[in-house]
């Protein structure tokens, strides 16, 4: 066990506010729910020394009937053997089936839906694809991955997210793009302004659906589905299916194939432990002590609030660490710059609120540190999934008071 301390920053922890006020409004955010009490034991998982059976795919990427240009792009990206979700979902998507894909974070599901859809569009440029994601960062990451796979195929993609020019996105949509990737809020704005007509999209992907339900986008998703053509291919990807998502499924998919490769809540290849601290005043010092240890080369630190994360970032920078933050008060350009610097190893520590916990695929993250405990165990699972990607090893540490 590591030694350290935990105390979630509470902006309402002032004498003039009553306890009832704090209980009602602290952690409210978009989810409007109190923080879940998580047992300490759930933050501890020492990987077994018994080796787990390695997944043996039924296909190689060369086996799939993709165009030669797409196959060349796949080889250039050094994709050889599919992951479980790719191996099992791609043949059904190629066959035109609706698919419900359930998989742990970090298992390669983005490529599982992108590759067959890129092939479909490249062979019929009248096809249109809509991909809906919960966060800007995930939308941007999907676009980046799509552009690598679709290089030289004449496929045009538009990113529709908040924090950047709405006018520019309207202008891009006039070019009738093959792929539109967006977040619910911005997509709704574009639909309301008649810049986006969902009746043209016969291929639709809802990605990280559990997160979209969790942060209150369920009504927007239902509205989008009502605007789609009845004759379409619908792909639904999630780590879990909350009860609210089942209502979406009934109207979204038709005679779907269920592909579930989820084995457990947290991957075996992520070592999980807690940091116990008795002196709260030394919490930041103990974080710094950890970050100075050998092996903490590429670290994501998660906190609860935008204010707390920004303050912690400045403390680390003033102590000589190369660090940057992403949270809701940062502009989209600032958030993207921080992510790019982290990916290129120009900074050691990326600090973030839960805006970054879903879908970000950053190679070789050595550690995830929960400086503040997550609001729910589901949030914890997605936070720590930023390390140990695609069966690599990683470590997750959670500060506990």
Q: How far apart are the first and last CA of the chain?
A: 14
pLDDT in tens, 171-203: 999 999 999 999 999 999 999 999 999 999 999
- Helix (H) and strand (E) counts for the chain? 14, 14
Assigned CATH topology for domain 2-49+268-400: Rossmann fold (3.40.50)
pLDDT at 22: 36
Residue 4 has pLDDT above 70, yes or no: no
Looking at every residue in the chain, the average pLDDT score rounds to 85
**H-assigned helices in 12-126:** 19-25, 68-76, 84-94, 109-123
pLDDT at 390: 66
Same fold, 2-49+268-400 and 61-260: yes
CATH 3.40.50.300 fits 61-260, yes or no: yes
Residue 18 has pLDDT above 90, yes or no: no
Comparing 356 with 26, the larger pLDDT belongs to 356
Comparing 359 with 123, the larger pLDDT belongs to 123
Least confident of 27-31, 32-36, 386-390: 27-31
pLDDT at 128: 98
User: Average pLDDT of 293-308?
Assistant: 94
Backbone φ and ψ of 9, nearest 5°: -65, 130
Residue 359 has pLDDT above 70, yes or no: no
Residue 236 has pLDDT above 50, yes or no: yes
Sketch the domain layout of the chain as residue ranges.
2-49+268-400, 61-260
For residue 375, what are its two tokens? Answer: 């609001």
Query: In which band, very low, low, confident or very high, does the pLDDT at 332 lie, cut at 50, 70 and 90?
Result: confident
Residue 47 has pLDDT above 60, yes or no: no
Please state, in angstroms and as integers, the Cα–Cα distance from residue 329 to each residue in 309, 323, 335, following that order. Answer: 11, 17, 9
pLDDT at 127: 97
Residue 143 has pLDDT above 80, yes or no: yes
The C-alpha atoms of residue 349 and residue 299 are separated, in whole angstroms, by 5
SS3 273: strand
Comparing 228 with 39, the larger pLDDT belongs to 228
Residue 241 has pLDDT above 60, yes or no: yes
pLDDT in tens, 62-80: 999 999 999 999 999 999 8
Residue 234 has pLDDT above 90, yes or no: yes
Q: Residue 124's CB: how many other CB atoms inside 10 A?
A: 9
């Amino acid at each position: 066990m590591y030694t350290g301390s935990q105390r979630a920053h509470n902006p309402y922890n002032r004498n003039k506010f009553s306890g009832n006020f704090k209980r009602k409004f602290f952690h409210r955010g978009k989810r409007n729910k109190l923080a879940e009490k998580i047992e300490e034991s759930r933050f501890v998982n020492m990987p077994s020394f018994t080796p787990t059976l390695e997944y043996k795919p039924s296909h190689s990427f060369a086996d799939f009937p993709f165009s030669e240009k797409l196959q060349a792009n796949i080889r250039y990206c050094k994709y050889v053997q599919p992951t479980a979700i790719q191996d099992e979902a791609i043949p059904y998507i190629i066959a035109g089936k609706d698919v419900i894909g359930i998989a742990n974070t970090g298992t390669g599901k983005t490529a599982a839906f992108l590759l067959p859809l890129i092939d479909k569009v490249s062979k019929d440029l009248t096809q249109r694809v809509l991909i809906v994601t919960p966060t800007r960062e995930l939308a941007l990451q999907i676009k980046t991955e799509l552009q690598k796979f679709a290089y030289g195929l004449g496929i045009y993609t538009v990113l529709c997210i908040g924090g950047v020019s709405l006018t520019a996105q309207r202008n891009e949509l006039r070019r009738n793009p093959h792929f539109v990737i967006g977040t619910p809020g911005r997509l709704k704005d574009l639909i309301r302004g008649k810049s986006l007509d969902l009746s043209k999209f016969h291929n639709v992907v809802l990605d990280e659906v559990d997160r979209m339900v969790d942060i209150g986008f369920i009504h927007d998703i239902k509205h989008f589905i009502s605007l789609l053509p009845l004759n379409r291919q619908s792909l639904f990807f999630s780590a879990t299916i909350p009860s609210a998502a089942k209502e979406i499924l009934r109207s979204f998919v038709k005679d779907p194939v269920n592909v579930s490769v989820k084995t457990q809540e947290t991957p075996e290849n992520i070592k999980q432990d807690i940091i116990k601290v008795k002196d709260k005043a030394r919490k930041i010092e103990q974080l710094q002590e950890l970050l100075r240890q050998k092996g903490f080369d590429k670290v994501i630190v998660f906190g609860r609030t935008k204010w707390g994360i920004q303050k912690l970032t400045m403390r680390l920078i003033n102590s000589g660490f190369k660090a940057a933050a992403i949270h809701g008060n940062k502009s989209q350009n600032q958030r993207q710059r921080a992510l790019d610097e982290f990916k290129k190893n120009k900074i050691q520590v990326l600090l973030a609120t839960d805006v970054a916990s879903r879908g970000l695929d950053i190679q070789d993250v050595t550690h995830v540190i929960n400086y503040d405990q997550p609001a729910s165990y589901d949030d914890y699972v997605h936070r720590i999934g930023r390390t140990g990607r695609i069966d690599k090893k990683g470590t997750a540490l959670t500060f506990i008071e």
